């Protein structure tokens, strides 16, 4: 999974979640990785063995 902590100008812990299908990313300023994953799922991201943004999830396989 492409989830990592990235530097933030605010000093808060910011999690970056990258799509496996394209170059989109989601930034979440929350304390725990589990909260970042929950936020991504609520926004329509698919968090399985591959991380897919809502646009890539809609593409036919």
**Residue 2, pLDDT score:** 83
* 38-59 pLDDT, tens digit each: 999 999 999 988 999 999 988 7
* 11-38 pLDDT, tens digit each: 789 999 999 999 899 999 998 999 999 9
Query: Quick check: 51 and 17 in contact, CB under 8 A?
Result: yes
Assign residue 44 a region (left: φ > 0; alpha: ψ between -120 and 50; beta: otherwise).
left
* Degrees to nearest 5, angle at CA 44 with 42 and 47: 90
Q: Is the pTM of this model over 0.85?
A: no
Could you give the CA distance from residue 36 to residue 56 in angstroms, rounded to a whole number? 19
């Amino acid at each position: 999974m492409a989830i990592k902590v990235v530097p933030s100008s605010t000093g808060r812990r910011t999690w970056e979640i990258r799509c496996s299908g394209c170059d989109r990313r989601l930034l979440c300023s929350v304390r725990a990785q589990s909260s970042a994953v929950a936020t991504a799922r609520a926004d329509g991201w698919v968090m399985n063995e591959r991380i897919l943004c809502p646009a890539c999830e809609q593409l036919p396989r």
